[in-house]
Structure 1
């Protein structure tokens, strides 16, 4: 089930974001992600339009949107590969009509996921925070 985020979801969203980030971005030190936990909870997530994918009463993942930009799409590692990411992305497509996002080039699994779900690369840039190349994608 997809629903709007509640303030009580923020702690679990940060946990999912951190756990999934460390696994998906092994090319970035875990300490980098740890240093952003407070900012995610107190600044970034509250500024976005957030939707939760809930399975059996538990938060399994979320998508964060600012306008037509997907700022975050994270699924708990234990819930990955079961359709939550696709469902959240389809929900965002239906809400917005068009989407754009940035994904690390070295996160091959995520790049494949987005391509499989209809997004296309439109450019590349270097992330100023990590020094890693990001692919700009659009739908």
Structure 2
């Protein structure tokens, strides 16, 4: 079930974001992600429009949007590959009609996932925080 975010979800969302980020972004030191936990909790997630995928009362993943931009899409690592990310992305597509996002070039599985979901690369840029290349993608 996909539902709107509640403030009580915040701790679990940060935990999922951190655990999934460390695994997916193996090319960035885990200490970087650890240093961003407070900003995620206090700034980024509260400012976004967040939707939760709940499975048997537990948060299995979430998507965060600012306008038509996907700022975050994370699924509990052991639950990846079960359609949760796709369901969250489809929910966002229905709500917004078009979407954009950035994904690290080295994160091949995420890049492939977004391409499979109909996103196309429109450019690239260097992330100012990590110095890693990000692919800019759009879906319309």
Deviation (angstroms), 1:103: 0.1
Alignment partners' CA distance in 1, 2:83 and 2:30? 26
Aligned length: 139
List gaps (5 residues or longer) in structure 2.
none
Aligned to 1:50: 50
User: What TM-score do the two structures reach when normalised by structure 1?
Assistant: 0.99
List 4+ stretches of structure 1 deviating above 2 A: none
Q: Deviations over 1:89-139 (max 9, x none)?
A: 000000000000000000000000000000000000000000000000000
User: How do 1:1-139 residues align onto structure 2 when only pairs under 5 Å count?
Assistant: 1-139=1-139
SS of 1:44's partner is helix
Q: Deviations over 1:62-105 (max 9, x none)?
A: 00000000000000101101010000000000000000000000
User: What TM-score do the two structures reach when normalised by structure 2?
Assistant: 0.99
